[in-house]
Structure 1
Amino acid sequence: QTLETMKSNIIEEAYELVEAIELDETDALKEEVGDILFLGFFFARLLEDEKNVNLEELLTATIKKYKEKHPHVFKNQELKDSKAVLQFWHKSKKDIFSGVVKSLPALLAARLIQERVSKIGFDWDSYKGALEKVYEEIKEVEESIGKKETFEELGDLLFACVNLARHLSVDPEDALKHANKKFIERFRLVEKELENQGKTITDVNLEEMDEIWNDLKKKSET
């Protein structure tokens, strides 16, 4: 194995840990945290083999970084409140977008980018400005349909939706994950209803499926 071939493994294990946290299952948490720890040491060994960086050097660099970023913890430097801590954190970074790595999932990266610029005042005072931006971007998507700009405008709309979620204190990743789960569950109920009627998905058209879907939606809202 190499650092390159192990990239997908650490991503997979990170998502498995997230799922274990959401399920709140102790045995699963023990297993997934253990897997992350194992992979951490495995990556350290690969780093030594490929880049000649040993574990002691790795830990020394890590400790140094955290001491510099958290002086209120390690150097008895008093920072009055959480806002002061955040201000120091951002001043210690070379660039406002430092740490927003290109390989981050797009929703998470968008939220981090927006949080960073918000710290320096580039933000709306309330959710209303973010909501108006969503409406504006929807209109631009409509106007771009059939043109090469559609790709860019859809990206702008998604970015605006993430910003609205941030203003409403909603994690966009969690919200979309919940929407995915809800869609799957409701679609399975559509299949179940058709099965009760002696039919399958392939036996009906979109209009019939949509009718069942809307009936199920109404029932879930009452």
Structure 2
Amino acid sequence: MQLGDKFEELYQIMKDLRGPNGCEWDKVQTHDSLKSYVIEEAYEFVEAVDEKDNSKMKEELGDILLQVIFHSVIAEENEEFTTIQVIENLIQKLIRRHPHVFGDEKGYSYARWEEIKAKEKGEKKYSRVGKINKALPALSSARRVQENAATVGFDWDDINDVWNKVEEEIKELKEAKNDEEIAEEFGDLLFALVNLARFLNIDPEFSLRKATEKFVRRFQKMEEKIEGLGEDFENLDLQELDNFWNMVKKEEE
């Protein structure tokens, strides 16, 4: 069976799920009700990539494709746009944004990419660093902006300079005198740490999520140890809790 046939089958399944004899849950969904699922599926795919789990990647890509079809069918029902228009728009955009592949221009240029994007949106000016995508988590947005700046040559030459910048921002945060300054300097420190993550080839968003998961896992194990000894968590002081925490850390290591 050809790719087009499979896509048509998937499209028809979604139409049936939304149809009179379809699924009660699927039939009541809207663009708004599905927003969180789009984000969730994207993160689950990223996790599968980081885990290098091909089977999981295949599944999560299917879930992302499901969201594309879901929203497209809803749009058709509301007479907003069609699935074919979604595909046609993507095809045209890919061709338009790659004049070095589908046109006469020579070589890829990030600046040219941003120029084309700006023209598409009717903007007379464009920035080589791109726009801030407010839909992205803050750490991912910072990384993207830094990558864009690096693409046009505005970046650190040496990782030691990045380490020095982090230390500088820590010093400035310690010296901040009021809430406004503290908030600004803390943001500068986070931005510097994202830069460091780039130079260490680390995704800061994924790294922070893993650190949070580790904290939750260790905290839950600490609770289990305390309960196993018949102790009351709330009656333990910080030093006693810290002792249990260190026990869990030692066992994991």
Partner residue in 2 for 1:12: 40
Q: Deviations over 1:48-98 (max 9, x none)?
A: 45563333332222111111223454448663xxxx454653554433244
2:176 equivalent to 1:150: no
Q: Which moved more, 1:55-64 or 1:93-102?
A: 93-102
Partner residue in 2 for 1:202: 234
Cα distance change, pair 9–99 in 1 and its aligned pair in 2 (3 A)? farther
**Equivalent residue letter for 2:171:** K
- Aligned pairs for 1:1-222 within 5 A: 1-22=29-50, 24=53, 26=55, 28-50=56-78, 52-75=80-103, 79=107, 84=108, 86=110, 88-90=112-114, 92-94=116-118, 95=126, 96-98=128-130, 100-144=132-176, 146-218=178-250, 220-221=252-253
Q: Deviations over 1:6-56 (max 9, x none)?
A: 322311222233344455272x54543333222212222333455633333
Cα root mean square deviation, aligned: 2.8
Once residues 138 and 206 of structure 2 are traced to their aligned partners in structure 1, the CA distance between those partners, rounded to angstroms, is: 13
**Equivalent residue letter for 2:172:** E
Cα distance change, pair 87–195 in 1 and its aligned pair in 2 (3 A)? same
**Equivalent residue letter for 2:144:** L
Once residues 150 and 130 of structure 2 are traced to their aligned partners in structure 1, the CA distance between those partners, rounded to angstroms, is: 15
Secondary structure, counterpart of 2:31 in structure 1? coil
**Structure 2 regions of 5+ residues with no counterpart?**
1-28, 119-125
Query: Which protein has greater RCO, CA pairs closer than 8 Å, 6+ apart?
Result: 1
- Contact 1:191–1:200 under 8 Å retained in 2: no
- % identity of equivalent residues: 41
Cα distance change, pair 51–109 in 1 and its aligned pair in 2 (3 A)? farther
**CA displacement at 1:111 relative to structure 2:** 0.1
Secondary structure, counterpart of 2:154 in structure 1? coil
Partner residue in 1 for 2:11: none
Q: Across the two proteins, how many residue pairs are aligned to each other?
A: 216
Cα distance change, pair 187–145 in 1 and its aligned pair in 2 (3 A)? farther
Once residues 35 and 62 of structure 1 are traced to their aligned partners in structure 2, the CA distance between those partners, rounded to angstroms, is: 19
- Contact 1:69–1:92 under 8 Å retained in 2: yes
Once residues 145 and 211 of structure 2 are traced to their aligned partners in structure 1, the CA distance between those partners, rounded to angstroms, is: 23
TM-score, normalised by the number of residues in structure 1: 0.80
Secondary structure, counterpart of 2:32 in structure 1? coil
Cα distance change, pair 147–105 in 1 and its aligned pair in 2 (3 A)? closer
**Equivalent residue letter for 2:97:** K
